[in-house]
């Protein structure tokens, strides 16, 4: 399925019998997108989410024949914890994706080495100019990246023209740095990966319309800027 077959504003929902099948199909499609970007400009940028849902996708993608030394990987969001903390999305990405040949990729984090979000402008300047493929997840509360519905900074982040936002998440007692919708929607393609009937119901509610402040995943569902594919399995 070629990227140019997708039309912004019309999400394509793809249902699979198993999570393994969904993950492998997503890996093949991201492989195509990255290959096209590499052919066009010599480099490619891939955004990936954290959590457990993308692990099988990571394992499928990391063995595909890509020139990983020409690929930059960026987390969609990051927990504000010290650089060596095991809860960092960076740590999970290194552990599950950047293994074998994929270890040659450049991982561009969203926090400085200190782990303190005191220079987001500098971090933003170091991000790739073009994000070729953005792979997001979705939580049962409708959050995507670290755009959580209970964050006091959510509406500011939804409206921001900057690529990064710092958000408090009171329910989790954490602080996060997240790519903003402005950054995500400027990408060449967006993929949304999630599993289970509970999240399917949330997706359907989000796709039916309403405020992104209520269900933040709507910021990628209700837009006509970037092509979107949705990968789901029970």
Show me where the domains of the chain are located.
Answer: 10-233
Asked if residue 3 lies in contact with residue 227, where contact means CB atoms within 8 angstroms, the answer is yes
pTM across the whole model: 0.95
Q: In DSSP terms, which residues pair with 147 in a beta bridge?
A: 144
Residue 144 phi/psi, 5° resolution? -140, 150
| pLDDT at res. 130 | 95
Quote the pLDDT of residue 69: 98
Question: 99 in the Ramachandran plot: left (φ > 0), alpha (ψ -120 to 50) or beta?
Answer: beta
Of the candidate CATH numbers 1.10.10.10, 3.40.50.1360, 3.40.630.30, 3.30.70.20, the domain formed by 10-233 belongs to: 3.40.50.1360
Residue 184 confidence (pLDDT): 98
What confidence score (pLDDT) does residue 181 get? 98
pLDDT (tens digit, 9 = 90+) per residue, 105-121?
999 999 987 777 878 98
Q: What is the structure's pLDDT at 3?
A: 41
Q: How far is it, in rounded angstroms, from Cα 12 to Cα 130?
A: 23
Which pLDDT tens digits describe the chain residue by residue (234 residues)? 444 455 677 899 999 999 999 999 999 999 999 999 999 999 999 999 999 999 999 999 999 999 999 999 999 999 998 877 888 999 999 999 999 999 999 999 999 877 778 789 899 999 999 999 999 999 999 999 999 999 999 999 999 999 999 999 999 999 999 999 999 999 999 999 999 999 999 999 999 999 999 999 999 999 999 999 999 999
Say how far residue 75 (Cα) sits from the centre of its chain: 7
Contact 230, 203 (CB under 8 A): yes
**pLDDT value of position 7:** 65
CA distances from 110 to 63, 123, 228 (A): 25, 6, 23
As separate numbers, helices (DSSP H) first and strands (DSSP E) second, the chain gives 8, 10
């Amino acid at each position: 399925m070629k990227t140019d077959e997708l039309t912004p504003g019309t999400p394509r929902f793809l249902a699979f019998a198993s999570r393994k099948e969904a993950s492998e199909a997503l890996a093949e499609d991201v492989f195509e997108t990255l290959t096209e970007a590499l052919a066009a400009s010599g480099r490619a940028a891939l955004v990936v989410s954290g959590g457990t849902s993308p692990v099988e996708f990571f394992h499928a993608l990391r063995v595909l024949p890509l020139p990983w030394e020409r690929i930059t990987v960026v987390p969609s969001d990051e927990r504000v914890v010290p650089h060596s903390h095991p809860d960092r999305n960076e740590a999970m990405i290194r552990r599950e994706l950047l293994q074998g040949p994929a270890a040659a990729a450049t991982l561009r984090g969203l926090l400085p080495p200190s782990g303190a979000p005191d220079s987001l402008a500098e971090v933003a300047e170091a991000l790739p100019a073009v994000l070729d493929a953005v792979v997001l997840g979705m939580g049962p509360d409708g959050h995507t990246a670290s755009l959580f519905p209970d964050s006091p900074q959510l509406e500011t982040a939804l409206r921001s023209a900057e690529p990064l936002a710092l958000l408090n998440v009171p329910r989790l007692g954490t602080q996060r740095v997240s790519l903003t919708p402005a950054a995500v929607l400027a990408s060449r393609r967006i993929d949304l990966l999630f599993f289970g009937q509970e999240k399917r119901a949330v997706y359907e509610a989000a796709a039916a319309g309403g405020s992104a402040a209520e269900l933040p995943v709507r910021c990628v569902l209700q837009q006509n800027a970037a092509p979107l594919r949705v990968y789901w399995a029970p």
